[in-house]
Amino acid sequence: MDFMSNYNLWLEKAVEDEDLIKELKSIEGDEKEIYERFYRSLEFGTAGLRGVIGAGTNRMNIYVVRQATQGLANYVLKKYGKGAVAISHDSRIKADLFMNEAARVLAANGIKVYITTELQPTPVLSYLVRYFKCQAGIMVTASHNPAKYNGYKAYGEDGCQMTDVAAGAVYDEICDIDIFNDVKTMDLFEAIDKGLVEYVTENVYTSYLEEVKKQQVNEGVCKGADLKVVYTPLNGCGNKLVRRILKEIGVEDVTIVKEQELPDGNFTTCPYPNPEIKEALQKGLELCEKVKPDLLLATDPDADRVGIAVKDYDGSYRLITGNEDGVMLTDYILSNRKANGTLPEKPVVVKTIVTSKLVEKLCEKYGAELRNVLTGFKYIGEVILGLEKNGEENRYMFGFEESYGYLSGTYVRDKDAVVASMLICEMAATFKKQGKTLAQVIDGLYEEFGYYMNKTFSYEFDGAEGMQKMADIMSSLRENAPAEIAGNKVVKTADYKLSVEKDLVTGEEKEINLPKSNVLQYNLENEHMVIVRPSGTEPKIKLYLTAVGNDKDDASNIIEQLKTSTENILGI
């Protein structure tokens, strides 16, 4: 069906949402606007669905959500015969509506639904899947995207985001469903009366926090440490549980950024509610100048990631990167568990391929096994699952990715800003009692191992033309592989789509035993590295650069050279 026919069908059939009716009528006769909404359907992948809220097959709306949920229902029933699904949502616009619509579809298919009474962090959804022994889970969120976006993350029975195989099976089901005629629904109140939909009670959240508290490394260290914290939930869903866990471990002095305290899907104070971006933390940094805390915590809208700023030597506040925070937490967990006798034999640390290589040095120091996985926390979850199947889950110490996602413990299978906030405060309290700041801690690690600088750059390619441009860039890079970047010879390449790693010095080739992914990696002389990959959730190509310098200025200069050279190679 062509895009105009699809548009006319929606004019006729999409009559249950006033916002969609108005939008469809407002673009009548505007072929470009109609094309953008109908030239494709949002594709269901390992990250579920994500798109701009609005009318059309290429937008997030009740009809697209219903169709995806019917596909998920078909998948669950075919695989398990019957099933249960947990659903939650964050503060996004229409997030509660989409959650309820998904519940209505599942209930109509005879699938039991456990649903939250209010917004909850993404890791809580992962916990609910495991707690209720569900066959799947749905989290309505677009994570850190701008306000115009919403999304739909799908989880498997292990509490991980769906793998490629499962997501592919669900997508196949979705493709066979007519969006208006093949979706079953039932009244939500009827579903509740029949016991098909059940609301999650407070005791379940308490049990989740008890699991979080078990991840403490130095229990009780925050009491009497006089730790001072500024916290912002960035108008998301971390407010209640983050504040609660900090209070329970003894962090009493917590000042909240008032403008960002309550849920607000419009994100009026930070258009990009992403802790990776300085502007998102601006309100918190302004409050730090008044309150003078030891550190600033900022959780993203669905509270699975956390960014921090720490007091620097001159009293100003230094932003800590996701890599730096992960490196400090890895060092803190391994060193303290070793000191207090709780480090198991053959401890395991997991990181993604785009995350700091400095972790390798820490694992060597403490005798830990480091496992590298593809970008996406589900791959860290798969490592945990593998350890669990072998009865070795106690070996898992910590997993993280450079984009501020961290997890200690195996009680959930996704990154968790609640446990990360707790551990960051515990780490800060431990060092404060030793007379050290976190700024001194990370600088000390650089002095010991070298200055590892990691920078990520994103290049947007909006619309249909943008998607083709991204594909052309990746194809060209494969066909014309660079021999050097910024004057540094390429010594090793890895193509994760072709599953081949080549050592250009020895000529040796070996297979990469990871799922196929459209990622190209170039290892350079002097431990520098360049990785190029299209985003799995946004119309962007991402560039991950690693430079190892003598100090910050040296590393920064190398990063700029790598960036300029790579941009020229990509034609960006």
Cα separation, 1 vs 57, in Å, equals 12
Q: Is 67 exposed, middle or buried (0-12, 13-18, 19+ CB in 10 A)?
A: buried
Half-sphere exposure of 104 (CA within 13 A, CB side): 18
The CA-to-CA distance between both ends of the chain, in Å, stands at 34
SS3 191: helix
Contacts 24+ apart (CB under 8 A), 202-208: 204/128, 204/131, 205/120, 205/124, 205/241, 207/131, 208/124, 208/127, 208/131, 208/241, 208/411
Q: How far is CA 80 from CA 184, 197, 374, 377, 457, in A?
A: 19, 19, 29, 25, 42
Set 143, 403, 421, 517: catalytic member: 143
Determine the Cα–Cα distance for residues 407 and 410; give it in Å rounded to an integer: 8
Dihedral angle of Cα 296, 350, 121, 425, to the nearest 10 degrees:
-30
Q: What is the DSSP letter of 293?
A: -
The two three-digit tokens of residue 228, written as one number: 């001072």
Question: Token match 């005798």: residue?
Answer: 367
CA dihedral 434, 439, 445, 448 (to 10 degrees): -90
* DSSP state, residue 395: G
- Taking each helix axis from N to C end, the angle separating 3-13 and 18-26, rounded to the nearest 10 degrees, works out to 140
Q: How far apart are CA 299 and CA 263, in angstroms?
A: 12
Our CA dihedral for 105, 107, 110, 114, rounded to 10 degrees, sits at: 120
Neighbours of 572 (CB within 10 A): 13
Q: Could you confirm whether 143 is annotated as catalytic?
A: yes
The residues annotated as belonging to the active site are 143
